[in-house]
Chains A and B, each alone.
Chain A
Amino acid sequence: MNHIKKSFDGVGVISDISLSVNEGEVLSIIGPSGSGKSTLLRCATMLERMDGGDLVYLGRYAAREEDGRCVYASQQDLKEIKRNIGLVFQNFNLFPHYSVLKNIVAPQLIAGKTKENAESRAMELLKSLGLTDHRDKYPCQLSGGQQQRVSIARALALDPQILFFDEPTSALDPELTAEVLRVIKELASQHMTMVIVTHEMEFARELSDWIIFMENGYIQAEGTPKDLFSTDNARVQSFVGKLRA
């Protein structure tokens, strides 16, 4: 992403942000609420249209700035580019009328897979996430942690090249948070490329290759976890310190 800009009704939310993620890397985005973290993620996953800047996945332009305007690629190109992207929401957004299994199978069918392939992939994911016993349940019958694991499975089933997480544990209690973080750690160990917006500082420090600290729509500081957590930037220090206390 280069020089991303986004404003709502004239109020700037993101001002000139650039970032990139390499294959197999984990990038965490931290910062106070309202700093534009989620908006940045929504621009990256094309849920929001940017006002300016370039968006490139695997060398293909999803959007590029021309004459001060942001021009998106054709519908067909965007559809193909989007296939590389997975997104896990803060509040899961599972489909309530589908069983756990169908939540994971249905999007694969939409993507054109056969029923057998989709189901075997789903069962494989459910097994690795310890959810096999829950496959016939409905989302309303699961705990938040289980729902979030299902939504991770749903995203993984489409074999994304990069997986985005929008505060994946913010709706969960500490125990369920740990349950979901374990899964994300497991993915990191398999070298899944991930971008994670989170308030879990220890987790970000342990897992990330690179951390971005955002505030007021700007990147205030960034670096490796080691650098960022030992920074002499007073603002970052106070934010990280408060969360760890």
Chain B
Amino acid sequence: MSLVTVFTQLMGGMGITVAIFLLTLLFSMPLGMLVVLLRMSANKVVSAIMMVYISIMRGTPLMLQIIVIYFAPYYVFHINISSSYRFIAVIIAFSLNYAAYFAEIYRSGFKSVPHGQYEAANVLGYNRSQTFFHIILPQVIKRVLPPVTNEVITLVKDTSLAFAIATAEMFTIAKQISAKEASLMPLMAAGLFYYIFNALVAWGCAWIEKKYDYYRI
């Protein structure tokens, strides 16, 4: 069994893995922003709800969250689960989970912008949304890039957790082939795939970070 044949067999799974990765980022990054804004809101009830949400997402295993979200419609509401829901459940679980982590990263970014920036904007006539979009957000983005990179790299590897509900992502397939052929090769190939994927992610993030290097805070 050559590496090339293994890779060919894994191809379909790679597509699913990349899809989980991209869709999760697409939904969780903006959702995390919404969560952090609610978390920092002056309304104590809203803020408390967000703290509970973040605490649950961070305090329980992602694998458990995936399983619960997949089976909840049937066990709780007695709705029959269609096979297409499997992939949707994975995306929902990943997005909710990663939104919580991103929210906390964003929060550290917001906290690190000096209060004087808000005050300067205020006396210069910026309204709240102008202050947020023109002054604060660009600085937050620069500050959170390194921890966000870290989180995105973790996400690449976490996609393998989708195997918990038998999603046909790459790792699930690699395990099946490995068991059938009694060979470590498919798992090695999977490892190589994750490594290359992450090298690209790290390179991309470093490029973005460099673009923000033109000023110091």
Question: B151 interface residue, CB < 8 Å from A?
Answer: no
Would you call A140 and B123 a contact (CB within 8 A)?
no
Known: A47-B119, A93-B114, A95-B135. A140 touches B124 (CB 8 A): no
Known: A91-B116, A96-B216, A97-B142. A86 touches B125 (CB 8 A): no
Question: Could you mark each residue 98-137 of chain B with 1 if its beta carbon is under 8 Å from any beta carbon of chain A, else 0?
Answer: 0000000000000000101101101111100010001100
Question: Could you mark each residue 158-196 of chain A with 1 if its beta carbon is under 8 Å from any beta carbon of chain B, else 0?
Answer: 100000000000000000000000000000000000000
Question: B196 interface residue, CB < 8 Å from A?
Answer: no
The CA of A140 and the CA of B215, in the complex, are separated in Å by 7
The CA of A78 and the CA of B117, in the complex, are separated in Å by 20
Question: B17 interface residue, CB < 8 Å from A?
Answer: no
Would you call B134 and A106 a contact (CB within 8 A)?
yes
Cβ-defined partner of B125 (8 Å) among A93, A97, A110, A140: A110
Question: A83 interface residue, CB < 8 Å from B?
Answer: yes
Which residues of A lie under 8 Å from residue B135 when comparing CB positions? Answer: 95
Known: A93-B114, A96-B216, A110-B130. A85 touches B123 (CB 8 A): yes
Would you call A138 and B124 a contact (CB within 8 A)?
no
The CA of A133 and the CA of B214, in the complex, are separated in Å by 18
Cβ-defined partner of A154 (8 Å) among B114, B117, B124, B130: B124
Question: B217 interface residue, CB < 8 Å from A?
Answer: yes
Q: Could you tell me the distance in whole angstroms from the C-beta of A111 to the nearest C-beta in chain B?
A: 5
Would you call B123 and A87 a contact (CB within 8 A)?
yes
Would you call B125 and A83 a contact (CB within 8 A)?
yes
Question: A218 interface residue, CB < 8 Å from B?
Answer: no
Question: B172 interface residue, CB < 8 Å from A?
Answer: no
The CA of A223 and the CA of B123, in the complex, are separated in Å by 29
Would you call A89 and B215 a contact (CB within 8 A)?
no
Number of chain A residues close to chain B: CB under 8 A: 25
Q: Could you tell me the distance in whole angstroms from the C-beta of B132 to the nearest C-beta in chain A?
A: 13
Question: B139 interface residue, CB < 8 Å from A?
Answer: yes
Chain A positions 64-86 with a Cβ under 8 Å from a chain B Cβ: 79, 82-83, 85-86
Would you call A89 and B124 a contact (CB within 8 A)?
no
Would you call B120 and A82 a contact (CB within 8 A)?
no
Q: Could you tell me the distance in whole angstroms from the C-beta of B133 to the nearest C-beta in chain A?
A: 11
Question: B138 interface residue, CB < 8 Å from A?
Answer: yes
Q: Could you tell me the distance in whole angstroms from the C-beta of A198 to the nearest C-beta in chain B?
A: 19
Would you call B215 and A97 a contact (CB within 8 A)?
yes
Q: Could you tell me the distance in whole angstroms from the C-beta of B125 to the nearest C-beta in chain A?
A: 5
- Interface of A with B (CB < 8 Å)? 45, 47, 79, 82-83, 85-87, 89, 91, 93-97, 106-107, 110-111, 138-140, 154-155, 158
- Interface of B with A (CB < 8 Å)? 114, 116-117, 119-120, 122-126, 130, 134-135, 138-139, 142, 214-217
A-B contact pairs, 20 of them (CB 8 A): A79-B125, A82-B123, A83-B125, A86-B123, A93-B114, A93-B120, A97-B139, A97-B142, A97-B215, A107-B124, A107-B125, A107-B126, A110-B124, A110-B130, A138-B214, A140-B215, A140-B216, A154-B124, A158-B124, A158-B125
Give 5 new A-B contacts, CB below 8 A, not counting A47-B123, A93-B117, A158-B125: A93-B119, A95-B117, A95-B120, A96-B215, A107-B126
